Amino acid sequence: MVAPLSKSLRDSSAGSSADSSGDSLGGTVGGFARVTESLLVVDEHIDAVSGAAHGAVVTFIGQVRDHDPDAAGRVTGLDYSAHPDAERIIGEIAHQVRKQHPLAVLSVSHRIGHLEVGDLALVAAVASAHRGDAFAACEALVEAVKLGVPIWKKQYEVDGTHSWVGL
C-alpha cells in the first residue's frame, strides 16, 4: 500500500517522474511513502524523486546489521511488525517533512516481515534543487520515520534467543 501526498503538496513542486511500480503520488512530483513486505529497491526510490529541476538526490539505506546494543550476541535476523495504522502514519510523516522542506521531493519505504542480515529495512530518497535542502530533508524524514512509525522488531540472535525492540 502507498500513502500519497496531498494534492496541495504535489502541486507545489515540479519535475519528478512516477515510480516504476505504479505507486506514484500523481501530478508532477512523484514520490511515495509506504510500509511493505516487498523487497525494497533503491533505484525505484531515486526514480520517483528525480527530475530536471533537481540537482541533488540524497539517499538513505538502512539495512539489518549483525549486532545491536540490545543483543547479548550476534544478530542473525529480524521480524518487523507494524501497527495497522503504520501506512497512514508514514504518509503523515512524509507530509510533515514535505511541509518543512517544500522544495524537496521524497520517497520512503519501511519493510516489514522477516529480514536477514544485510536486507534493506528502510530506504529514503530526497531530491531538491540544492544539496543542503536534500540532505536536511532526508535526515528529517529518516529520523521522523524511525521515531514515529509504529514498527517493532523481533531480533533473533545466534544462540536461538530473541528479544523485542521498540515496544
Q: Cβ contacts of residue 91 below 8 Å, gap of 6+?
A: 3, 4, 5, 33
Helix axes 86-100, 131-148, angle to 10 degrees: 150
User: Cα(98)–Cα(74) distance, rounded to whole angstroms?
Assistant: 38
DSSP designation for 17: P
Residue 55 has pLDDT above 80, yes or no: yes
| pLDDT tens track for 5-24 | 433 233 333 333 333 333 33
- Of 156 and 29, more confident: 156
pTM score, whole prediction: 0.82
Residue 50 has pLDDT above 60, yes or no: yes
Residue count (the chain): 167
Domain ranges (residues) in the chain: 7-165
Could you please state the CATH topology (level 3) that the domain comprising 7-165 is classified under.
Aldehyde Oxidoreductase; domain 3 (3.90.1170)
| Overall average pLDDT of the 16-33 stretch | 45
Residue 66 has pLDDT above 50, yes or no: yes
- As given in the structure block, the three cell numbers for residue 66 are 549483525
Q: What is the mean pLDDT of the chain?
A: 84
